[in-house]
Amino acid sequence: AQKITQTQPGMFVQEKEAVTLDCTYDTSDQSYGLFWYKQPSSGEMIFLIYQGSYDEQNATEGRYSLNFQKARKSANLVISASQLGDSAMYFCAMREGGYQAGTALIFGKGTTLSVSS
């Protein structure tokens, strides 16, 4: 079974609009971390935002926020006021066992976001 599921292969949004990228996860660990990365066409992996399983508040980083619903095992990324430069592939990822476990991230299949003017 997939550990990280991203059901949207592609999303389209107009500039200045908000967009939500979906991510659900599957783990039996009580301690885990959830991540979102952006990969533009250049190929680099850019860290966007992190949410720990014990964090009670949703994480926010500038225009990015993570809508964490623990009971539903979802960790959706919300991008407010989209910009043309947001066009990229977005990956949801999870580290099981919490950050102290030192285990590697497991990635979802990704969502391609296209922002138009």
Partner 1 sequence: SAVISQKPSRDICQRGTSLTIQCQVDSQVTMMFWYRQQPGQSLTLIATANQGSEATYESGFVIDKFPISRPNLTFSTLTVSNMSPEDSSIYLCSVALRREDYEQYFGPGTRLTVT
Cβ nearer to partner 1, comparing 20 with 107: 107
Cβ nearer to partner 1, comparing 50 with 64: 50
CA 30 vs. chain centroid, Å, equals 19
- Rounded to a whole number of angstroms, the minimum distance from the CB of residue 15 to partner 1 is 26
- Rounded to a whole number of angstroms, the minimum distance from the CB of residue 12 to partner 1 is 18
Place of tokens 């138009």: 116
Give residue 45's identity as a one-letter amino acid code: M
Cβ nearer to partner 1, comparing 108 with 115: 108
- Rounded to a whole number of angstroms, the minimum distance from the CB of residue 53 to partner 1 is 11
> For binding to partner 1 (CB under 8 A), which residues are involved?
33, 35, 37, 43-45, 47, 50, 52, 91, 95, 99-102, 104-110
Under DSSP, the state recorded for 86 is: G
Q: Mention every residue, 6+ apart, whose C-beta is less than 8 A from residue 75.
A: 23, 24, 25, 34, 36, 51, 66, 67, 68, 69, 92
